[in-house]
């Protein structure tokens, strides 16, 4: 799995951080997503997929 984020699309909802805090964080100043791990461990894959599905801005992209 390879994860990318489009920070220019992010609306700072924070759902990704709640679902996969090992993979996503948010910038202090504006809440925009920060990708911590672009190739997460297999046990995190379900949470990353869910993060991409619930992202209101569709800013998270997952390549399997």
pLDDT digits (tens, 9 = 90+) for 12-24: 999 999 999 999 9
Q: In the chain, how many domains are there?
A: 1
Neighbour tally for 10: CB within 10 Å? 23
**pLDDT value of residue 49:** 98
**pLDDT value of residue 52:** 98
Domain that holds residue 34: 2-63
pLDDT digits (tens, 9 = 90+) for 27-53: 999 999 999 999 999 999 999 999 999
pTM of the prediction? 0.95
Which CATH number fits the domain that encloses residue 8? 3.30.70.20
């Amino acid at each position: 799995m390879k994860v990318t984020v489009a920070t220019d699309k992010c609306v700072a909802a924070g759902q990704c951080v709640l679902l996969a805090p090992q993979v996503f964080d948010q910038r202090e100043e504006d809440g925009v997503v920060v990708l911590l791990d672009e190739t997460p461990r297999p046990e995190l894959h379900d949470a990353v997929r869910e993060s991409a599905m619930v992202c209101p801005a569709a800013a998270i992209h997952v390549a399997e």
